[in-house]
Amino acid sequence: MSFEAFRIHQQEKDVRAGFEQLEVDDLTEGDVVIKVHYSDINYKDALAATGTARILRVDSLNGGIDLSGVVTHSESDRFSVGDQVLVCGALLSETVDGGYSEYARISSDSIVPLPEGLTLHESMALGTAGFTAALAMIRLEENGQNPANGPMIVTGATGGVGSIAIDMLASKGYDVVAMTGKSDQHDYLRELGASDFVDRGSLNMGSRPLEKALWGGAIDNVGGAVLGWLTRTVKSWGSIASIGNAGGIKLETTVFPLILRGVSLLGINSIEMSNELRDRAWSRLATDLKPAHLDMIAGRTIDFDGLPEAFGAYIDGSVTGRTVVRIGD
């Protein structure tokens, strides 16, 4: 049986991507075969498909770091034919064939049973972005973050992670400040739960080892100079969940925020973790961390054949929220 897949070929500086016909035996190894119903688009997917950055660690793979669907074949005791499942943060489109394919073959260790309270479509409306935001919330909670410490600032606010994080924080009683360069999206962010805004373009970060303490904590999608500024402006005993590097990979700060204010910098890795943590995060995404405005955050669902034209908006930074990709029925 042949099926359609969006495949990426990466050779030195040359990247070629497009639709191809494959067989199950062409896919990377795994003990469970899934008929894919939905995937989504993440910034990482756009980087890989356009060759803007080298995401694949092998020469050729199907794109798509997320998928949801129904099991059609299983050699695992954990899953049976007909089970609804999802896969996120499991090296898809890095070392394993990803979700931009009508069928996927995945190791059962990477698969999550679809939690009660989520549909297959909703699971991809969340995808890696929602999963990452949930991991940030869990780590912040475990480190003692609470609304009484002051407002939480979310950088990269209009992106998938930022939008979902704002919704989650607001639902937990936090005063949320959104940092964005998109002033035309203030109404969108306000509806998600943001109460105030910081204009990224006019931000004066200062240069002192410690600046005025402004924030109870932060969820940062930007990295670089912004993350350094956050370490200098978070209040005593506040925490910063570090997720992205759109603003750069270097972190310039001092030990003063750590030893004089007790600030904690929490790294969020959405790929490698215990199955217990992965299942716990998805369980909470189906219950108390499920965004109240998910339909608004993920207001776009495109068909599989429209995928190639959708990547450019992610590269130029014009996308707000999330995009779901309909792969099958």
pLDDT in tens, 241-299: 999 888 899 999 999 999 999 999 999 999 989 989 999 999 999 999 999 999 999 99
**For strand 84-88 and strand 112-113, is the pairing parallel, antiparallel, or unpaired?**
antiparallel
Distance CA 300, CA 99 (A): 18
Chosen domain end from 248, 267, 286: 267
143 within domain boundaries: yes
Domain count, the chain: 2
Contact 266, 220 (CB under 8 A): no
Q: Are residues 66 and 23 in the same domain?
A: yes
| Single residue among 251, 267, 283 that ends a domain in this structure | 267
Residues 6+ apart with CB under 8 A from 39: 64, 66, 67, 68, 98, 99, 100, 124, 127, 324, 325, 327
182 part of a folded domain: yes
- Could you tell me which residues are beta bridge partners of residue 39? 325
Give yes or no: residues 157 and 259 share one domain.
yes
Q: What is the CATH number of the domain that holds 139?
A: 3.40.50.720
Do both 105 and 137 map to the same domain?
A: no
Determine, yes or no, domain membership for 120: no
Q: Where are the alpha helices (DSSP H) in the chain?
A: 43-50, 120-142, 160-171, 186-192, 224-233, 256-260, 275-285, 294-297, 307-315
Tell me the pLDDT tens digit for each residue of 124-151.
999 999 999 999 999 999 999 999 999 9
Q: Structure pTM? A: 0.95
Q: Looking at the structure, tell me whether residues 6 and 75 fall in a common domain.
A: yes
- Average pLDDT, rounded, for the chain: 96
On whether both 198 and 231 belong to a single domain, the answer is yes
Asked whether 152 and 177 are in contact (CB, 8 A), the reply is yes
The answer to whether position 216 is within a domain reads yes
Give the residue-averaged pLDDT of 72-88.
98
> What is residue 301's predicted lDDT score, i.e. its pLDDT?
97
If asked whether residues 56 and 19 sit together in one domain, one would say: yes
Q: Is residue 282 part of a domain?
A: no
> Is 275 part of any domain?
no
Q: Please report whether residue 278 resides in a domain.
A: no
Residue 221 near residue 244, CB atoms below 8 Å: yes
Residue of 41, 87, 114, 18 whose CA lies nearest to 325: 41
* Mean predicted confidence (pLDDT) in 302-319: 94
* Domain shared by 51 and 10, yes or no: yes
Give the Cα-Cα-Cα angle 296, 302, 303 (nearest 5 degrees). 155
* Angstrom distance (rounded) from CA 248 to CA 255: 20
pLDDT at 329 over 80: no
Can you name the residues that pair with 215 across neighbouring β-strands?
234
Q: Are residues 41 and 136 in the same domain?
A: no
The pLDDT of 198-208, averaged and rounded, is 91
Residues 91 and 16 in one domain: yes
Tell me the C-alpha distance between 21 and 19, whole Å: 7
Structure tokens at 263: 């600030």
pLDDT mean over 80-88 = 98
DSSP 8-state code for residue 151: P
Domain of 252 in residue numbering reads as 129-267
Residue 242 pairs in a beta bridge with 220, 267
Q: Are residues 23 and 146 in the same domain?
A: no
In the predicted model, what is the mean pLDDT of residues 3-22?
A: 93
Percentage above 70 pLDDT, the chain: 100
Identify the CATH number of the domain in which residue 94 sits. 3.90.180.10
Minimal CA–CA distance to 156: which of 250, 232, 219?
219
- 231 and 148, same structural domain? yes
Report, as an integer, the average pLDDT of 293-308: 97
Q: How confident is the model at residue 12 (pLDDT cuts 50, 70, 90)?
A: confident
* 145 and 28 co-located in one domain: no
Do 41 and 311 form a contact (C-beta atoms < 8 A)? yes
Phi, psi dihedral angles at 94 (to 5 degrees): -120, -55
DSSP code for 272: S
User: How large is the average pLDDT for residues 156-184?
Assistant: 96
Q: Look at residues 56, 49, 112 and name the one whose alpha carbon lies nearest to residue 83.
A: 112
How many CB atoms are closer than 10 A to CB 122? 24
Q: How far apart are CA 83 and CA 85, in angstroms?
A: 6
pLDDT bucket at 157, cuts 50 / 70 / 90: very high
* pLDDT for the residue numbered 13: 76
**Residue 44 in domain:** yes
In the prediction, which pLDDT does 246 show? 85
